[in-house]
Structure 1
């Protein structure tokens, strides 16, 4: 008997047998599977999955995880690594990949790369739904990717949240104050301050007003503020679901829902906590749509700083949008992981979206630029790094404290500890962290 209980005498491919279609028995891939671009295997060859080359329409065969460890949609296009370019497949880690205890650990070391691919400017994004240059692949992580983060989860205990010097307390404090940062600066560590300067989406205006009211609430106004919060969350969900939106609108609805979620998750009111729980699947769904417009910097992942400078983005606005998408995608997964960890329901055997490598740019000089001139000057004169899978090795060898923006600071602290990062910043640039 062949693997999966399929008889070795079976002539049709497994997919045709399952769907009760007539199979032409062509190898390595039958006609039905070619048309549907789905895996094609015969009997005992269930470990072989096809890859589809969209450039010439040909099908090749790669060895990947067995069908029992992955679910496929027949509409997916598989790349040379066997992974869906839509990033929607729930692919389990290969046997060679280390399964490590701890949900937060799975969160923290799973990204890698570098590149500023073609993206659309803010003005281009207002009126049409055009795709960004999305990443064609994201590989699974292995042992070295997780080594520095293990203590965060292995030694985690709820009382650590009361110790401001602990890694987990620092990280949670950053996340729980997103709405405060937004209310005070009209920006966060993942939402650039210039992103919504012109033609601000109404969801962002409503979220900003809500954050300002909530941050400045009093005992007398709390009830009214929470009513506004509930109505604006309902308005967001009702008006931002089930319709085709431009990439900028898709990003705006995620940004609005994230600040609402952080309020509800960390307020302490049981009804708000349940509201956050109910809305979490919506946030996950919207965030996955960002994946389709995200440039994950694959084509510059291995470039050094000199080569990166030669890949200057077409416009400052496009870089602002692309980097905000990258950071937002990471933050949404991190928020869910923290929420699961704090509610003691993390599945240490399920890496989820942290199974793949995600990337972001480390450069305070680029992120804090307030105009195009300052941005391009920083691009040509200041250092920058592409951070992959939370791997900061190259930055730690060549970078300084002045190069660290608040997004990188949060994950550096989770990786190495607050005192260690403070020491690094002071010794390399005399920068004092608050």
Structure 2
């Protein structure tokens, strides 16, 4: 279990400094502030690669143990398993602060009790007492209407031809693999191009090729670097989109069972991104990699939630996970060049440039905010959680 990753460049939050308590540097709030419903604020921030997201990730079996037989019997994921990216860790064997008195020991016990109560949120309907930062007054809707789903599926399907024509898409930055192209990335482009040329005659070739590429990913998964892991998850997302949302291929059932494999790989990727941070020589390279990783995790969860909604009468079962995944504020860096990035970064005031998906959606004012000012990525995310209240989000894009 991963509770938090310490960042040596981040100072204790103001509440812990005031109380003379050790801070565990959790993001967006530390454990002490979380359990006491305090407003947690840090005096400074860290680079995006060092941002800490408080989470509880699942204990995953080694990826090399996943074989063909495991894929055959995969069942849809139940409510007891999710990425658990967004939960507070309940398995810390050691407190992040050292008690110096009986009162401190009592306080630590109160914090642990509060943390344990928070874990029950995912298995009961009772709402825990958490800080305003962590739990908005309302959540994104769990039920999607037909118009929302049609727009979302259409946009996700567009990821495939966009990659084939440009070598990039909404979650794969154009500069991500400029110096080294993982095999999974090259294969995904090739099969995306083959999909665009699909006919009744070559469809079986496409299906077999995807199956073989997935089997190859499984066979090599034990030795992945973090970059290769990212490319593998991106490739699997594309293979899932091709098979889930094209009824002519007749592969939706197989792909639906392999959604569990995508969930496992995505959870492990997210966990590794904190446990095995990469040192980049330039801020631009770091931003491109970690922003692509964040978007890849987001789209992985988003796609699986969309598929569930499509097959379960509109019910999106991934809302609790999606609501707390991080996004870049403004989303203005994705389409700019490195030189412009360096100029803009120099003007940033140093605060964290991330916002939770749930907070981003709640900030949208239906019928008032300008739809034209949204990027395609922002629009896709808002259609899912605000489309029922603001049809402009999908009607203007149809």
TM norm. shorter chain > 0.5: yes
Q: Residue 216 and residue 363 in structure 1: after superposition, are their counterparts in 2 closer, same or farther (change >3 A)?
A: farther
Q: Residue 239 and residue 50 in structure 1: after superposition, are their counterparts in 2 closer, same or farther (change >3 A)?
A: closer
1:284-323 to 2 correspondences below 5 Å: 284-294=263-273, 315-323=283-291
Whole-Å Cα distance in 2 between the matches of residues 286 and 186 of structure 1? Answer: 23
How far 1:229 sits from its partner (Å)? 2.4
SS at match of 1:144: coil
User: Which residue number corresponds to residue 280 of structure 1?
Assistant: 259
Which of the residues 302, 309, 317 maps onto 1:334? 302
Which of the residues 343, 348, 351 maps onto 2:311? 343
User: Which residue number corresponds to residue 406 of structure 1?
Assistant: 376
How far 1:274 sits from its partner (Å)? 2.1
Whole-Å Cα distance in 2 between the matches of residues 416 and 249 of structure 1? Answer: 34
User: Which residue number corresponds to residue 155 of structure 2?
Assistant: 174
Deviations 1:82-125 (A, max 9, x none): xxxxxxxx953672269xxxxxxxxxxxxx98xxxxxxxxxxxx
**Aligned: 1:53 with 2:95:** yes
**How many correspondences in the alignment?**
288
Deviations 1:296-332 (A, max 9, x none): xxxxxxxxxxxxxxxxx96111011111111111111
Q: Residue 188 and residue 175 in structure 1: after superposition, are their counterparts in 2 closer, same or farther (change >3 A)?
A: same
Whole-Å Cα distance in 1 between the matches of residues 127 and 284 of structure 2? Answer: 41
Whole-Å Cα distance in 1 between the matches of residues 382 and 353 of structure 2? Answer: 14
Whole-Å Cα distance in 2 between the matches of residues 380 and 422 of structure 1? Answer: 35
Whole-Å Cα distance in 2 between the matches of residues 143 and 416 of structure 1? Answer: 15
SS at match of 1:360: strand
CA contact (8 A) 2:383 2:393 kept: yes
1:353-368 to 2 correspondences below 5 Å: 354=321, 357-368=324-335
Which of the residues 137, 144, 152 maps onto 2:138? 144
What is the TM-score when the length of structure 2 is the normalising length? 0.60
1:11-90 to 2 correspondences below 5 Å: 52-54=94-96, 56=98, 60-61=108-109, 62=111, 63-64=113-114
SS at match of 1:391: helix
Which of the residues 349, 373, 382 maps onto 2:339? 373
Which of the residues 126, 139, 154 maps onto 1:95? 126
User: Which residue number corresponds to residue 85 of structure 1?
Assistant: none
How far 1:204 sits from its partner (Å)? 0.7
CA contact (8 A) 1:250 1:290 kept: yes
Whole-Å Cα distance in 2 between the matches of residues 333 and 190 of structure 1? Answer: 13
CA contact (8 A) 2:160 2:192 kept: yes
What is the TM-score when the length of structure 1 is the normalising length? 0.56
How far 1:275 sits from its partner (Å)? 1.9
Whole-Å Cα distance in 1 between the matches of residues 127 and 136 of structure 2? Answer: 8
SS at match of 2:327: strand
User: Which residue number corresponds to residue 250 of structure 1?
Assistant: 229
User: Which residue number corresponds to residue 420 of structure 1?
Assistant: 392
**Aligned: 1:237 with 2:205:** no
Moved more, 255-264 or 210-219: 210-219
Q: Residue 391 and residue 66 in structure 1: after superposition, are their counterparts in 2 closer, same or farther (change >3 A)?
A: closer
Whole-Å Cα distance in 1 between the matches of residues 234 and 291 of structure 2? Answer: 14
SS at match of 1:334: helix
Deviations 1:41-66 (A, max 9, x none): xxxxxxx9987334659972223376
Whole-Å Cα distance in 2 between the matches of residues 271 and 422 of structure 1? Answer: 28
Which of the residues 210, 222, 227 maps onto 2:191? 210
Whole-Å Cα distance in 1 between the matches of residues 293 and 358 of structure 2? Answer: 17
CA contact (8 A) 2:185 2:235 kept: yes
Cα RMSD between the aligned structures? Answer: 4.1
Moved more, 227-236 or 183-192: 227-236
**Aligned: 1:224 with 2:218:** no
Deviations 1:230-254 (A, max 9, x none): 22222222222xx142221111110
User: Which residue number corresponds to residue 10 of structure 2?
Assistant: none
Q: Residue 68 and residue 413 in structure 1: after superposition, are their counterparts in 2 closer, same or farther (change >3 A)?
A: closer
CA contact (8 A) 1:171 1:414 kept: yes
How far 1:410 sits from its partner (Å)? 0.5
**Aligned: 1:388 with 2:356:** yes
Deviations 1:187-218 (A, max 9, x none): 22122111112210001101110010111223
User: Which residue number corresponds to residue 184 of structure 1?
Assistant: 165
Q: Residue 345 and residue 168 in structure 1: after superposition, are their counterparts in 2 closer, same or farther (change >3 A)?
A: closer
